[in-house]
Structure 1
């Protein structure tokens, strides 16, 4: 399958035959007239696509979601995705916003772009929209498109960046809503995570494989690490890493309560290569050293 390197917006536009009105930002439109073969694309810029119709499968999501109408997908610089047209080879109808990181240079949005976590996934999940939400997203893309029709002047960048920022803020609102509307599935995922974490610590897997990581459990529940972390945070108020550390601390206390168990044995059971690393971890979590905790528990 062909891999297209779209390191710049101009290269992307050239591949699809779009006009480049600005080298660092643009709005593109696809309709269902295009015939295309499967391909992979490497992005050198941010891209946000509102897909209006079915027409392709994108290699980025690992979970089947409960919405199947309007979706937004976001890609970040450095990501590579696979595009597989459905039967007939037509591309989906969609509108897309493209903007290069250089366009955000010396702007407040450039300093906080990483806060928009739907861009940051190594394996992305789609944002599913209601009809009303789709109208909001399309409206701001149209505003940006109209601004780009004007000759570039000293107001262009400020106006376009401000509209991009409002659009991204709306997408974050819709993204967080997605956790609420998928509450039952989220609970199931959290329950599975807790079960897997307990098994990891109780079965001796930590001693063999090392300290448990967010990525390990995200892979097990078929989600990307960032989406999984956001899900855990929305359900528990703690990050996935904090949740793992709390469970490790509890497991450490359980192990240290067993007579004759050394600090070295506890450290190894939890995946620490050196007891000193475990001592620092435990003191940070529990507020005292393992030896001090054990002395207090024995008192």
Structure 2
């Protein structure tokens, strides 16, 4: 596998592509105007959004390969690794890229709300597949940002640039919601596998050996990112992934509480709690009574 090329700032990225830098913290790139390059893997120090116009082979993202089709939008956060295996050939990239450094959005509305755009932590196999109309909207947003970059910098520049980036990201949220809906049958399969995973987990000795299952653990077993699993579960059921884990835990705990040969503390440890009082507190919050009170009532 190729070495990973680290690029920390946008000026270096533009220089690598042979393009002019209009602003040190943000760039809109028409990839068709760049130098011909070889495939490689990158680790960026900035946010990047790629819209490909052509199929470009198997994209490597994290541990997975993804067949990167045209009309696909991929969002990468700083520190993530993205790229294509180098086959030694030079090619002319096509499509668009928006790059912006975290320093650009500090103290802005976008900076304060950045955590809401959870798709920056999705796996590449959870990329956004755009319709033609959606693709037009994305490119229009990129053109607005590009227009502002070509304008002389003044006191309004930062506000207008970050506002247009925020507008683009809000459109991405809308398009992802559409994708969740149009892939409903796939989503339901994920939910079934998620429920089965929890059932298998609590019926094994893993809680005692590993502890309580986390959203990250479940997502990894389902080959999804934690954010994507959380968003999918929330949109399909109205409950968070953590709530689903807790509900499954409580249902398991109710059955165990019937066994009077075990103390509440023993049950808590078997379920993966380090401290029995944490189990009792969660049980009462979810059921309305303590484990001992539930045992007496039933």
TM-score by length of 1: 0.91
How do 1:90-101 residues align onto structure 2 when only pairs under 5 Å count?
Answer: 90=91, 92-101=93-102
Give the match's secondary structure for 1:186: helix
8 Å CA contact 2:18–2:35 kept in 1: the answer is: no
CA shift for structure 1 position 248:
0.2
Distance 1:12 1:63 in 2: 23
For 2:40, the equivalent position in structure 1 comes to: 39
Distance 2:58 2:226 in 1: 21
Give the match's secondary structure for 1:190: helix
Instruction: Report the aligned-residue RMSD.
Output: 2.3
For 1:168, the equivalent position in structure 2 comes to: 169
Change beyond 3 A, Cα 1:124–1:79: farther
For 2:245, the equivalent position in structure 1 comes to: 244
Distance 1:242 1:199 in 2: 17
Runs of 4+ more than 3 Å apart: 32-38, 61-65, 85-89, 121-124
Aligned residues: 296
CA shift for structure 1 position 78:
2.2
Q: Name structure 2 gaps, 5 residues minimum.
A: none
8 Å CA contact 2:40–2:86 kept in 1: the answer is: no
Deviation per CA, 1:167-214: give whole Å up to 9, x if none. Answer: 111111001111111111111111111111111111232222211111
CA shift for structure 1 position 34:
5.1
Q: Name structure 1 gaps, 5 residues minimum.
A: none
For 2:205, the equivalent position in structure 1 comes to: 204
How do 1:60-79 residues align onto structure 2 when only pairs under 5 Å count?
Answer: 60=61, 62=64, 68-79=69-80
Distance 2:249 2:144 in 1: 50
Distance 1:140 1:242 in 2: 36
CA shift for structure 1 position 33:
7.9
Deviation per CA, 1:42-79: give whole Å up to 9, x if none. Answer: 111111111111114322275979x9440111111222
For 1:230, the equivalent position in structure 2 comes to: 231
Distance 1:279 1:179 in 2: 36
CA shift for structure 1 position 35:
4.2
Change beyond 3 A, Cα 1:111–1:156: same
CA shift for structure 1 position 256:
0.2
CA shift for structure 1 position 124:
6.9
Distance 1:76 1:188 in 2: 28
Deviates more, 1:54-63 or 1:242-251: 54-63
8 Å CA contact 2:57–2:84 kept in 1: the answer is: yes
For 2:137, the equivalent position in structure 1 comes to: 136
